[in-house]
């Protein structure tokens, strides 16, 4: 769940996308309600328009999925280093 103040706007979205993009052998998807977007696409992530308190599901698949997931979870837990 997103706990940082403004949710997923440009700045935190870019942190997320940069991490996801690092793991070239792993796919990253963000799911919200019925929508699924590619976690490596800044536009995709922003189009989710996830405000604070949103529940997002992060799906990873690939050889580096564990590392990828733990880095992404760390980011969300640290409120994207925003606040």
**15 noted as active-site residue:** no
Coil/strand/helix, residue 27: strand
CA–CA dist 55, 19 (Å, integer): 19
From 38, 64, 65, 69, residue interacting with another protein (rule: CB under 8 A)? 38
With contacts defined by CB under 8 A, how many residues of the chain interact with another protein? 22
Q: Where are the alpha helices (DSSP H) in 1-83?
A: 10-22, 42-47, 65-77
Report yes or no: 36 and 30 within 8 Å, Cβ to Cβ: yes
CA–CA dist 74, 15 (Å, integer): 12
- Here the tokens at position 50 are 């996830």
Is 74 a binder of another protein (CB under 8 A)?
A: no
Q: Which CB sits closer to another protein, 17 or 76?
A: 17
Choose the catalytic residue: 6, 9, 54, 79: 9
From 19, 31, 46, 58, residue interacting with another protein (rule: CB under 8 A)? 46
Give the interface with another protein as residue ranges (CB under 8 A).
5-7, 9-11, 14, 17, 21, 38, 40-44, 46-47, 49, 51-52, 82-83
């Amino acid at each position: 769940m997103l706990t940082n103040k403004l949710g997923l706007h440009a700045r935190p979205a870019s942190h997320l996308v940069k991490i996801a993009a690092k793991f070239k052998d792993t796919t990253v998807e963000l799911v919200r309600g019925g929508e699924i977007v590619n976690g490596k696409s800044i536009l995709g992530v922003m189009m989710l328009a996830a405000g604070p308190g949103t529940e997002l599901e992060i799906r990873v698949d690939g050889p580096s999925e564990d590392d990828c997931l733990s880095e992404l979870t760390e980011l969300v837990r640290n409120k994207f280093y925003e606040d």
